[in-house]
Amino acid sequence: MADKPRLLVIERDPGATADVRQLLSLSFDVVVARTMARALVLLRQHSFAGVYVDAAQLASVRWAGVAIQADEILDAIADGVAVVDPELKIIWANPEFQKLVVSEVGPVGNTFYRALGSPEILGPDPCPFTSSLGTREPSSTLIRVGANNYLRVLVTPVFDHDGRPSHLIVLTRDVTVEMQQEQKINAIHKAGEELADLTPDELAEMGVEERTDLLKYNIARHMKDLLGLDFIEIRLLDRPTSRLVPLLTEGMTPLAANRELFARKEGNGVTGFVAATGQSYLCPDTTNDPLYLEGAAGARSSLTVPLLYHATVIGTLNVENAQPGAFDDRDRQFLEIYARNVASALNTLELLQAEKLSTATASVEAISRELALPLDDILSDATTVLDRYAGHDDEVINRLKHLLFRAREIRSLIQKVGSTIAPEPRGDGIKPAQQLANARLLVVDADESVRKSAHHLLGRLGATVETARDGHEAIAMARQSPYSLVMVDIRLPDLDGYEVFRRLRADQPGMPVILMTGFGYDPTHSIVKARQEGLQTVLYKPFRADRLTEAVEQSLRQAHPPSDSTDCTPAPTAATD
C-alpha cells in the first residue's frame, strides 16, 4: 500500500478543527503545526503535498508569504539575521548568521545559543530574549563567541493579532574589532596608571635614578607586550635650551641615540618637528620623507607623538618599524593615549623628586640652624682661650687648635651631607651668590636672633658664617683666623663698635668691616669716627635679605676690585622691614 501524501495542518485551536483533522487523516499523513513559526520550520525541513489552514490563521499565512518572499532581502543584509520561535529555536537564518554557527551544528531547528556554541553573555542584559518578550520592546546585549569573537545582539519580539508572541527577530553584528580596540585602550590606560604607581615602602627605598630606571623598564615592557613595538625612543625637552635629551632608546643605532636634537621645525628630524609643533607625525615611508633621520637600522616607517602634560610639550615618543606603512591612524591613537600616561608618570616622578628634595633641604636647614650657634660658642670660647694662652703649654695650644678644626669640620660635614641627600634641583632655586661663594664671614652681635638670621640668610647663599657675642670674642677670633668680612653691631656688652672696628683693622688691615645699628641709634658716635678711618658700609637693623646681600657683596667687591675697573657703587642706605 502506497504511503499517504503528507499534509501540513496549521491549527491554533485543536478543539475547533478536531473533526476536520480526523477527516483529513483518512486520506493524508497529517502533520500539525500550532504556530506559523513552527509551520515555517516544517516547510523548510520537509516536503508536503499541501497545507490546510483554518480561517482563523489566514492573517498568519499572509505574513508567512511575505516572510518567504523577503528571504532574498534578508540574505543581502551584511549583519547576521535569525528568526526564532518563542522556544528560541531558529526558524530561518541569513548567510551572514550561518557563518557564525559552529560547524557541527546547523542553525535551523536548533536553539539560538546552541547554534552559536553556547557563547558567554557579557551583558548588560543577561537574558535579552526574556526581557524583550516581557517588555515587548527590543533588548540588546553583548556575547562572546569562542575565544575572542564578539557579537552585539539585538532581539525584537513580534506578536500576532491576539497579542501572543509569534517569533523573535535577532540581529547580530560582529563587533570584534571594536571590542579588541577597546580592550587595548583599557590595557594601555591600566599600564599607564601603573607606570608611577609605587607603594610608600618602594618610594622610601628607591632613589631618583632607581625610580627612573623602573619607569624606563615598564615603558619598554608595555611597548613590546601591548603594542608589539621593539624600536622605541623617548626624549625629554629641556625648555631653557630647547634640547631634546634622550631618556630611553631601544633598538636605535648608536648614532641616533647620541644625536643632538632640538625642538625646532627644521633641521632636527621628525622628533624636533613634533616637539616644536606639539603634533603627531606619521611617516609611512622613511625613504621619501624629507624630515626623517635614521633611528633604527633599516627602519621603513615611523610614528612620533608628543609627550603632553596639561597641553604643554615635555618630550617626544618615537617608534619605528622595518616594514613600510606599518602604522595607521589607530596606532597613532593608541600611542597618543600611552604618551599621555608616560607624561603624567614623568611629572609624578618630578613631583616626588621635588618633594624629597624639599624635605631633605628642610631637614638639613633645621639641623644647621640648631647647631649653628652651639658650634659658634665652641669656636668663640676655644679661640678666646687660645688667644689668651699663647706662649704657654704647646700641648694645650695644639689641642685647642684641633678643637677649632673639628668644630669647623662638623659644620662643613653638615653641608656636605646636605648636598648629598638634597642635590641641587634642575629648575630655578637659590643659587650661591658669586661674591659669597667660599667667603668666610664673622658676625658680631649680642642678639641671638641676629646671629641666627645671619647663618640662615648668608649661609644659604654659599658663605661660611661664624658669630661672636661680644667685642673681645670677635677680636680673638679675627686674630686666630682670617675672615673675608666682619659685621659688627655698634652696641656690644663690652666694647663699642668703633673700638672693635679699629682693633680689627689693626690686626687685618685689608679686611672689610661693616657696622650695624638699630634704627640709626649711635650714642658713642662709632659710625662717625669709623667713617673717618675708612668705614665704607653701614647696615641698619632690622635688615632685609636683599639689602644684607647687597651690602656684603659690595664690601667684598671693594676689598677685591677687578683689575681693569674701579667699583664706584655708592654704599647702601638704611633699610627697614
**CATH superfamily to which 70-174 belongs:** PAS domain (3.30.450.20)
- The span from the CA of 263 to the CA of 381, in Å, is 59
CB 7 within 8 A of CB 17: no
| Domain limits, the chain | 6-67, 70-174, 183-355, 363-559
The tens-digit pLDDT sequence of the chain (577 residues) is 457 788 878 776 666 667 777 777 887 888 887 776 677 667 767 777 777 776 555 555 555 544 444 444 444 445 788 888 888 888 888 888 888 887 666 788 888 888 888 888 888 888 898 899 889 888 999 988 877 788 898 988 888 877 888 888 888 888 877 776 776 666 666 666 665 555 555 555 556 566 666 667 777 777 676 667 788 898 988 888 999 988 888 888 999 989 999 999 999 999 999 999 999 999 999 999 999 999 889 899 999 999 888 888 988 989 999 999 988 888 888 888 878 877 877 776 564 454 455 555 556 666 666 677 777 777 777 777 777 766 566 777 777 777 777 777 777 776 666 555 555 544 444 444 556 777 889 999 998 888 888 888 888 777 888 889 999 988 988 888 888 999 999 889 999 889 999 999 888 888 899 998 876 667 778 888 888 888 888 888 877 778 888 888 888 888 766 544 434 333 343 333 3
At 301 the pLDDT is 93
At 486 the pLDDT is 93
- For β-strands 165-174 and 440-444, DSSP reports them as unpaired
Region of 35 on the Ramachandran plot (φ > 0 left; ψ -120 to 50 alpha; else beta):
beta
At 169 the pLDDT is 87
What 3-state DSSP class applies to 140? strand
Domains 70-174 and 183-355 share a fold: yes
Would you call the peptide bond into 157 cis, given omega within 30 degrees of 0 as the criterion?
no
All residues at 6 or more sequence positions from 38 whose CB lies less than 8 Å from its CB, including other chains: 85
At 13 the pLDDT is 66
Nearest residue to 111 (alpha-carbon basis) of 126, 91, 128: 91
All residues at 6 or more sequence positions from 97 whose CB lies less than 8 Å from its CB, including other chains: 80, 81, 82, 107, 172
The DSSP secondary structure of 475-535, one letter per residue, reads HHHHHHS--SEEEEESB-SSSBHHHHHHHHHHHSTT--EEEEEETT--TT-HHHHHHTTT-
* E strand or H helix that includes residue 441: strand 440-444
6-67 carries CATH number 3.40.640.10: no
Report helix, strand and coil shares of the chain as percent, to nearest 5. Answer: 45, 20, 35
- The span from the CA of 324 to the CA of 300, in Å, is 5
**Four-residue CA torsion sign, 464, 468, 469, 471:** negative
Helix ranges (DSSP H) in 18-120? 18-24, 36-45, 58-69, 71-75, 95-98, 112-115
CATH of 363-559, one of 2.30.30.90, 3.40.50.920, 3.10.129.10, 3.40.50.2300: 3.40.50.2300
At 123 the pLDDT is 85
At 226 the pLDDT is 65
- The span from the CA of 262 to the CA of 433, in Å, is 31
The CATH fold of domain 183-355: Beta-Lactamase (3.30.450)
- The span from the CA of 458 to the CA of 555, in Å, is 14
| pTM attached to this predicted model | 0.45
CB 441 within 8 A of CB 484: yes
At 73 the pLDDT is 41
At 262 the pLDDT is 95
